[in-house]
Structure 1
Amino acid sequence: MSGSIALVGIGPGSHDHMTHRARAVIAEADVVVGYVTYIKLVADLLEGKEVIRKGMTEELDRAVHALERAREGKKVALISSGDAGVYGMAGPTYEVLFQAGWTPESDVSVEVVPGASAINACAALVGAPLTHDFCSISLSDLLTPWPVIARRLDAVAASDFVVALYNPKSGRRTQQIVQAQALFLRHRRPDTPVAVVKSAYRKRERVEFTTLAHMSECEIGMLTTVLIGNSHTFVRHGLMVTPRGYANKYDLDEGGSTREGEKAGRSLSSGLLGWMAQLRADHAEGIGVATLAQQHGLPPDYIEAVLSAAVDEPETTTPTEETEG
C-alpha cells in the first residue's frame, strides 16, 4: 500500500493567509498530525479525519506517527505553523525517515508544502523591516547549546543584519532575551528600532514598537517574534522600514536622478570591482594591510588575498543586471 506524508505550513494561523495547496492537502488527508495549538487553528477543516494531537516537545513522536500511518497506506498531513521548513516539522521528519531507511523511491511519498513564516507575518504587520538583508535566530536552548546561539547573535549584531528572534522567552527561559539584548548593545545603538509582535494574524495579536535599550522590558513570550532593525531601519507613522539602499545610488530629493559616478542597473562605484580598485590604490599609496583591514572591518588575510588576486578586466558587454526593485 502506498501512503504519503505532506509537511504542511499553515501560515500564521488565519485561513486568509493559508495557501491554496495547504488547504487542498489537508482536505485530501486521511490523518492530520500536529501540535495541539496548531490543530485548533485548522479545526474547521478536520471533519471526518483521524486527528493525532501532540504536545510541544513531542516533535519526533509526531514524525513517527506520521510515518506509521503513511506505511498503512494513509494520506497524512503533518502540520506546522508558519513554514514547515522554518523551525518546523520538515527537518525532524526527514531525520526520522532517514533513520527508518526511507528514500525518495520508497512507497511513502513526501511533499513539503510551504507557508508564510512568522517572520513574514510579523514584518507585514509592522511595515517593511526586511527589505534589506536579514536573518532569524531561535533563542531556544532546548536543543542548541547557548554558546552556539550567543556566537550567532554576536556575529549578526556586528554584521548589521535585521534580525528576527524566534522563541525569545518562555516561563522557564527568561534570561535568553536579556542576554541577546546585551550582545546586540555591544554593536548597535540603544535607540535601534525594535518591533515585538505576538500572535500575528491570530485572535490575541499584539504589536509593540520599542528600542533595543528597552526590548527586554516588553511583554514577550513563546508566541512572540522580536524584529530588531539594522543601523538604517527607522520607524515613522507607526511603520518600521529598512531602506534597500536606493539613496546610495539615486538622489531621492531630485526626482530619483542617478548620483555622480553611479549608473542605473550597474554595481555601485563602491561595489566589489570599485572597492577592489580603491583598495589597491590605497595600498599603492603606502597604506598597510592591517590598517586597511581595520578601516573596512575585514580580516587581514582577506585583504591580503584581494590585493594579491589577478586583476580581471571588466567585460565590454555584460548580461542584464538583477533588478533593484
Structure 2
Amino acid sequence: MGGKIYVVGIGPGHPSQRTFAAIDAIAKSEVVVGYETYIKLVEDLLGGKEVVSAKMRQEVYRAEVSIAKALEGKTVALVSDGDPQVFGMAPLLFEMLAKRGISVDVEVVPGVTAALAAGARLGSPLGSDFVVLNLSPLLTPEDVILHRALKAAEGDFVIALYNPIDSGLLRRVLEVVKAVRGPSTPVGVVKNAYREGEAVKITTLGEVDVDEVDMRTILIVGNSETFVWGSYMITPRGYSRKYRL
C-alpha cells in the first residue's frame, strides 16, 4: 500500500492559530519531518510518532526523507510554519517529485501565513492588493529582489517583506521603495507574531530601524492610501469611493 505526504502549514507558531486540518493531518501521520524550530512548535502533537528534525538550510534533506518514508508506505507530515506554499516546503517537494518522476499521494494543508499573522497584529494593512517579497538572497539574486521591489512600489501594492536576513539588502530595498512612495509611508514591523517575544511597532519608511530587524521579523509597507489610526495601520479597500462612510 502506498504512503502519503501531508505538507502541513502550522501557522505562525501559537497553537491557537493552527487549523483543525493541520492538527488532523499530523494526528494521521506516522512520521513528522521538519526544521527543528517547527518541530518544537508542534511537540505537543508528536506523541508516539517517528520525528525527523533537521537544521536550517536542510530543506532538500527534509523533502528527501519525506519522499523516502512515503515510498515505504508510511504517512508523513512535512511541516512548515505559516503556509507551506508561501516560501515553505510545498514548492520544493513538488519540484523534486516532478523532476524525479516519482508518483506519491500528496496533500497540502494550508496555514496562516506570516504576512496574515503580522497584518492581524497591526490592524488591517493588507486591506487592498498586496505583494509578498522574500528578501533572502540564498535562492534569489539580489538584483531580481530589487527589481521586484521597485515594480511592487511602482504598482502601489502594499508590500510584505519576508526573511530580511541581510541588513544591507533590506536597506537597499527600503530605499528603492522610499524613492517611489516617500519617507512618510507607514511601515509595520512585527517580530515573532503569535510567538513568545512578540513585538509590534508602526513606523515610517524614513524611520525604520534596520538594526532591530531579524529573520523572525515581517515588515509591511503601506501603499499610497495606507494610514495610521491610533495603534492601527489601515489600508482602505476602496469603499469610500463608492459609499459615504
For normalisation by structure 2, the TM-score amounts to 0.97
Tell me which residue corresponds to 2:234: 241
User: Does residue 135 in structure 1 map to residue 131 in structure 2?
Assistant: yes
Distance (Å, rounded) in 2 between the aligned partners of 1:174 and 1:241? 26
Distance (Å, rounded) in 2 between the aligned partners of 1:73 and 1:26? 16
User: Does residue 126 in structure 1 map to residue 122 in structure 2?
Assistant: yes
1:206 to 199, 224, 241: 199
Tell me which residue corresponds to 2:96: 96
Tell me which residue corresponds to 1:30: 30
Superposition pairs of residues 175-324 of structure 1, within 5 angstroms = 175-217=168-210, 219-252=212-245
- Asked whether the 8 Å contact 1:181–1:216 carries over to 2, the reply is no
Per the TM alignment, residue 13 of structure 1 is displaced from its structure 2 partner at its CA by 0.8
Q: Secondary structure at the match of 1:244?
A: coil
Distance (Å, rounded) in 2 between the aligned partners of 1:245 and 1:69? 49
Determine what percentage of the aligned residue pairs are the same residue.
49
Per the TM alignment, residue 163 of structure 1 is displaced from its structure 2 partner at its CA by 0.4
Per the TM alignment, residue 99 of structure 1 is displaced from its structure 2 partner at its CA by 2.3
Distance (Å, rounded) in 1 between the aligned partners of 2:140 and 2:19? 31
Per the TM alignment, residue 215 of structure 1 is displaced from its structure 2 partner at its CA by 1.6
User: Does residue 86 in structure 1 map to residue 79 in structure 2?
Assistant: no
Tell me which residue corresponds to 2:110: 114
Per the TM alignment, residue 218 of structure 1 is displaced from its structure 2 partner at its CA by 5.3
Q: Secondary structure at the match of 1:221?
A: coil
Per the TM alignment, residue 186 of structure 1 is displaced from its structure 2 partner at its CA by 1.1
Distance (Å, rounded) in 1 between the aligned partners of 2:139 and 2:169? 14
- Asked whether the 8 Å contact 2:118–2:193 carries over to 1, the reply is yes
1:69-89 deviation per Cα after TM superposition (whole angstroms, max 9, x unaligned): 001111000000000000000
Per the TM alignment, residue 219 of structure 1 is displaced from its structure 2 partner at its CA by 1.0
For normalisation by structure 1, the TM-score amounts to 0.74
Q: Which amino acid aligns with 2:86?
A: V
Could you say which structure has the higher strand fraction?
2
Q: Which amino acid aligns with 1:10?
A: I
Per the TM alignment, residue 250 of structure 1 is displaced from its structure 2 partner at its CA by 2.3
Where do 4+ consecutive residues of structure 1 move more than 3 Å?
none
The size of the alignment, in residue pairs, is 245
Distance (Å, rounded) in 2 between the aligned partners of 1:249 and 1:8? 40
Tell me which residue corresponds to 1:165: 161
Distance (Å, rounded) in 1 between the aligned partners of 2:190 and 2:37? 18
User: Does residue 66 in structure 1 map to residue 62 in structure 2?
Assistant: no
Give the greater-gyration-radius structure (CA).
1
Calculate the aligned-residue CA RMSD, in Å.
1.0
1:145 to 122, 141, 144: 141
Q: Which amino acid aligns with 2:149?
A: L
Distance (Å, rounded) in 2 between the aligned partners of 1:21 and 1:245? 33
Q: Secondary structure at the match of 2:208?
A: helix
Q: Which amino acid aligns with 2:107?
A: E
1:234-286 deviation per Cα after TM superposition (whole angstroms, max 9, x unaligned): 1111000001112222233xxxxxxxxxxxxxxxxxxxxxxxxxxxxxxxxxx
Q: Which runs of 5+ in 1 are unaligned?
A: 253-325
Distance (Å, rounded) in 2 between the aligned partners of 1:251 and 1:8? 43
